[in-house]
Amino acid sequence: MQSDATINIERTSEIIYADGHCHLVPEWFEYDEVVKLAGKAVASGVKYIINCAIESKYYDFGLKTKELPGVFLSVGLDTSKITKESVEELKKFHLENVDNTVAIGEIGLDFHWVKEEDKRKEQEVLFRELISFAMELDKPIVIHSRAAEEKAITILKEMGAEEVLMHCFGGSEEQAKEISRLSWYVTVPTSAVYRKSFQKILKSVALDSLMFETDSPFHSLEKGEKNDPSSIPILCRKAARMLEVEEKDLAYITTKNVKDFYRL
């Protein structure tokens, strides 16, 4: 049982942060390293970590990490490599572990790596199938939409999806505003500390739709280093200055958004 599952985030003197999306899996981190990183994150105030496994060979590893304090599991697949078989594996895992996962995702569309029109069409068909599956299971959906933001938003709206998180959103400012109007969520990654494209999204999305993520091991603050959840407070401090709000207030609302979306 998770020891941090009932952390109280009412306004106190302690600032509590959340990493709304990361990948603490063996492709980049061994289990002993994950244990250390989870402890490091909690010590830095990051007491909610959403660990995302996107390959079936790492699903069981993800289950193991969710026993660590503050770590919760989201399970999806690699959108750029999606197949009918990987979709069936994802469905099977969720059906067998429905109480052990907090969301389905990341799932979605990737037109950055996938250029062939027939493969993009296949992505769309399987994306729709997974949206329906998530809605049937009453699970929140985490969306990958690289270079396919407009198409992903259109499909989600057509299908009536309501509990949606656009992870590491790289679309336009107008799209970010539309996402807020739809009462969906957006995660801004730690690279927003220096990347102006993500800073524009940060300034466009409503606070009650905003979350922070590391997307670990990506979006590191140090070139050549693997990112980890303990970098969230650095992003929060930077974002608070940019948005001209108090850090404690921004940490409170972004953590609350993570808790609300993932039903923690």
Q: What's the whole-number mean pLDDT along residues 238-243?
A: 97
**pTM to 2 decimal places:** 0.93
Residues 6 or more apart whose CB falls under 8 angstroms from that of 200 comprise: 173
Which is it for the CA torsion 217, 221, 225, 230, positive or negative? negative
Q: 123-143 pLDDT, tens per residue?
A: 999 999 999 999 999 999 999
Q: Give the domain 17-262 fold.
A: TIM Barrel (3.20.20)
Per-residue pLDDT band at 223 (split at 50, 70, 90):
confident
In this predicted structure, the answer to whether residue 213 has a pLDDT above a threshold of 90 is: yes
Model pLDDT for residues 6-48, shown as the tens digit of each residue: 334 445 458 999 999 999 999 999 999 999 999 999 999 999 9
Question: Looking at the DSSP assignment, which residues form a beta bridge with residue 189?
Answer: 213
Give 3's pLDDT tier (boundaries 50, 70, 90): very low
Distance of alpha carbon 25 from alpha carbon 167, whole angstroms = 18
Mean local confidence (pLDDT), 200-219: 97
